[in-house]
């Protein structure tokens, strides 16, 4: 079974600063996907970024980037130039490759961006 660990329950960052959210996972699979989802207060969960394990290059989406360390089973999210709208709960998630696989979520981290 896979596990996803987000050890920091909450973090705070000043607007325009950079923040890194940590995530580690445990799996015996070699082919899988990793995700970061964002859930703003009382709003819809949306996908922030995804990474295929077979790709060595770290995924990037505008101000969001990941540091994927496959050997260390680490998948951190870096948010650059933090904005007030980044305030949300962030979930790291794992899915093994293959038909009918399911997502395994971490407990989430609450990020607050201070003005």
**Residues near another protein, by CB under 8 A:** 33, 35, 37, 43-47, 50, 89, 91, 95, 97, 99-103, 105-108, 110
Q: Which is nearer to another protein, 16 or 45 (CB)?
A: 45
Q: C-beta of 52: minimal distance to another protein in Å?
A: 9
Tell me whether residue 18 or residue 97 sits nearer to another protein (CB atom).
97
**Tally: H helices and E strands in the chain:** 0, 12
For every residue of 40-79, DSSP letters joined together read -TTS--EEEEEEETT--SPPEETTEEEEEETTTTEEEEEE
């Amino acid at each position: 079974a896979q596990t996803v660990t987000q050890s920091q329950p909450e973090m705070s960052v000043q607007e325009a600063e950079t923040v890194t959210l940590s995530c580690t996972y445990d799996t015996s699979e070699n082919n899988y996907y990793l995700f970061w989802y964002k859930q703003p207060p009382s709003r819809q969960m949306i996908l922030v970024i995804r990474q295929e394990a077979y790709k060595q290059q770290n995924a990037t989406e505008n101000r969001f980037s990941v540091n994927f360390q496959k050997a260390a089973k680490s998948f951190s999210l870096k948010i650059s130039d933090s904005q007030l709208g980044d305030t949300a709960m962030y979930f790291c998630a794992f899915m093994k490759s293959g038909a009918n696989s399911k997502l395994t979520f971490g407990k989430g981290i609450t990020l607050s961006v201070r003005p």
